[in-house]
Structure 1
């Protein structure tokens, strides 16, 4: 979430991502980036419409895929949460329309463990759309996936969430002087570790696979597709040093 109403900063992350750094070289908007694609002809799809057909196609899961689930945090889970600086929060509204939002803070400050069945995640200054939070007000069911840099496995937590505007534990979630004004409190209903195959297949943590400069920088994306009234120069200024200085200032 972002620092002003002119631009959508949901994807803003660290300064190592050249796409978002105004000081990074301008990536050319090549034909590959701007090509207009026509829809493919309608094809006959072999659609799966029930669980039995899905199981027949994929096979039965190994027993451990079910037995690894639990409802209470272990010491390993707590250590993982303390080491995780980043997670995804999935929500859905009352009609089932979904949203996934990234959440990030320094490791040890992203998650506050209230007890073995309850965690909290702070809200930081953003663009105030609050898509996921509005969903929680309508439908409390959430899914979380906690990432540790360099690790392929992730910790998944599913449960029921509520929004809290103040609590004593907010004092333990202060980062760079910012005390949150809102936190998501999640009562854990399901917790388990997800295997590393997706990360291994993607090569996500392999720097030689990273090509951030092949995409236009963040200001150019806003200029081209986000219907903003700011000029490209103003956007470059917004996403430059000033942007990184205001991560914890509203």
Structure 2
């Protein structure tokens, strides 16, 4: 800690103005039909979890509406195939609190949802989330506690959807390069990169 580190709520609030009426009015404890439209249009969200004093964030994505609305207070999030680390699921077992941030391509506002999650293997819910006959291993049943839209400033500043802001993947280290270096040559980075396109096609679901 330094003299420039804020450590109290009073010191933090002193740095900011009071939130405006709109900032408070937009938050509700259920999925209003306007907010439901965001969820159903979104092909991508970020899932945040916390456990053991550590917070984590994980991407989730599929066709728009992949996060299903069970009712105005409940969402279903299928757990598609991944790397089997199941970090987020382990966290939820320890602490059910979750946050979701929904993005819609071309839309600068985002939607924030906070709540609690349970990990379900209910056959009916699993079947409901199948894609081309392929079922998720589990489904998160998320009880909504808070929902509101986040204003456009962050995405406008970042120019996230602007074609001019995009960079070629080759401008950053490849996955194989990263793995080869971190494993000190234990993983063949070139072979990993070569196999990646087919691996992705074969393991999306």
When normalised by structure 2's length, the TM-score is 0.92
Aligned partner of 1:113 among 38, 47, 69: 69
Asked whether the 8 Å contact 1:71–1:191 carries over to 2, the reply is yes
Match of 1:97 among 54, 62, 68: 54
Return 5+ residue gaps in structure 2 as ranges: none
Distance 1:225 1:176, change over 3 A: farther
Matched-pair contact (CA < 8 Å) for 2:35–2:111: yes
Match of 2:46 in 1: 88
2:199 is paired with a residue whose SS is helix
| CA shift for structure 1 position 104 | 0.7
Cα distance in 2 between the residues matched to 1:127 and 1:233: 19
In structure 1, the gaps of 5 or more residues are 1-42
Q: Deviations over 1:89-139 (max 9, x none)?
A: 10100x32111010011112x211111100010001111111111111111
Matched position secondary structure for 2:191? helix
CA distance in 2, matches of 1:144, 1:107: 15
| 1:166 to 2:122 alignment | yes
Which one of 189, 200, 210 corresponds to residue 156 of structure 2? 200
Q: Does 1:139 align with 2:95?
A: yes
The aligned residue for residue 201 of structure 2 is 244
Residue in 1 that maps onto 2:104: 148
CA contact (8 A) 1:165 1:183 kept: yes
- Which of 17, 21, 33 does residue 59 from structure 1 map onto? 17
TM-score normalised to structure 1 length: 0.76
Partner of 1:6: none
**Which structure shows the higher strand fraction?**
2
Instruction: Supply the distance in 1 between the matched residues of 2:193 and 2:171 (Cα, whole angstroms).
Output: 18
Match of 2:134 in 1: 178
Pairing partner for 1:229 from 181, 186, 193: 186
Aligned counterparts of 2:40 and 2:184: Cα–Cα separation in 1: 39
Give the aligned length: 204
CA spacing shift, 1:234–1:135, aligned 2, 3 Å: same
Greater relative contact order structure (CA < 8 Å, 6+ sep)? 1
